[in-house]
Chain A
Amino acid sequence: MTLPPFQALIDDHAETIHRFLSAIVGPVEADDCFQETFLAALRAYPGVRAGSNLRAWLFAVARSKAIDSHRRASRAPVPLGAAPDDRVVGDGGAGETDDALWSAVAALPEKQRAAVVLRFACDLSHRDIGRMLDCSDEAARRSVHEGVKRLREVWT
């Protein structure tokens, strides 16, 4: 078992990671997080154990970069995004409705947000999500379920 060329990770996963980050931190911050994710991954790559789940590893790096980005944003003087209790209302246009849902996603607790995005936008199994969020398949399934439930409550 040997490590594949790093380019193969980009060819296979860059698109999904970009999607994940766009959903988690928003399209504006996504590129910065993407750069940080892949630079950190490339730096650490020769030390990665061959045969390990490289996709799960990349997502874990991306998730931690997204958390860093949220921390930075929350220290910014101007509050960003809606408070979790706000109901998000679009005016009915399809694009706006979608945007409203993504704002609601952004307002979910971090673990639920990651679980929901990984499940739907990135099409990962509960098992992979559990591995990434460091919890059981069942706990991953629960986080997805609770996230969707919460979205249903706030999204009209």
Chain B
Amino acid sequence: MNESIERILRSGPDGGGVGESVSRFAAAAEAAGLVDVAYVRAGTPFGDVLMAGTSKGLVRIGFLHTSSEEELLREIAVSVSPRVLHAPGRLDEARRQLDEYFEGRRRTFELATDRRLIRGFAREVLAHTARIPYGSFLTYGEVAAEAGKPRAHRAAGTALARNPIPIVIPCHRVLRSGGVIGNYGGGPEMKARLLALEGARVASA
């Protein structure tokens, strides 16, 4: 008797699945204004990306072929807010524009960005990077100069390497001098393919 009581207790009560409750919760939390950062996974030709947005706009895009989702979410929890929730609705528009970009149907992004993760000189560097037109590119030195510090090409390189919103802030359009591809968060191959997608005429790839 005791054993069968314990068996039934262990098997738990009949009840609806938790899945529905969880999706209802994401919607309720969003409606209550409690989601400081909403995120979603999105597919691209290079692998999945994680997109995260605050109430101000897109705050982070991370490449899941070079970082793990767990790592990216922890970083966001520490640097933005621990109130991070999988709540896809907020990122529908960003996801749509990203799809169009990868299909070659979009040349500029019309998305609000939240640049709180960009500080100091990097703000200038990435603000100028954001203005490099589709299909063209600058060198690290040129971006540093536009940002007001012509000799700071190394600092510009660091700022670009730490770009929290790649693709939308197109750091792939900044190359080493002589048209050398240089580094990229998603790997140099991805950088070359993004430039090819945009029809950029890079001398050496």
Can you name the residue of chain B whose Cβ is closest to the Cβ of A117?
A: B9
Of the listed stretches A30-38, A58-66, A73-81, A127-135, name the one at the interface; the rest are far from the partner chain. Answer: A30-38
| A148:B2 contact, CB within 8 angstroms | yes
- Asked if B120 CB lies within 8 Å of chain A CBs, one says no
Q: Mark A21-54, 1 if CB is under 8 A from B, else 0.
A: 0110011001100110011001101100000000
| B5:A102 contact, CB within 8 angstroms | no
Can you name the residue of chain A whose Cβ is closest to the Cβ of B81?
A: A46
Interface of A, secondary structure class, is helix
Interface of B, secondary structure class, is helix
- Asked if B178 CB lies within 8 Å of chain A CBs, one says no
Please give the residue numbers on chain B whose beta carbons come within 8 Å of chain A beta carbons, in ascending order.
1-2, 5-6, 8-16, 18, 20-22, 24-25, 28-29, 32, 34-35, 37, 39, 70, 73-74, 76-78, 81-86
Please give the residue numbers on chain A whose beta carbons come within 8 Å of chain B beta carbons, in ascending order.
2-8, 10, 14-15, 18-19, 22-23, 26-27, 30-31, 34-35, 38-39, 42-43, 45-46, 95, 97-99, 101-102, 105, 116-117, 119-121, 123, 148, 151-152, 155
> Could you name 25 residue pairs across A and B whose Cβ atoms are closer than 8 Å?
A5-B37, A5-B82, A7-B73, A8-B70, A14-B22, A26-B13, A27-B13, A30-B15, A31-B20, A34-B25, A38-B29, A39-B28, A42-B34, A42-B35, A45-B82, A46-B81, A46-B82, A98-B11, A98-B14, A102-B13, A117-B9, A148-B6, A151-B5, A152-B2, A152-B5
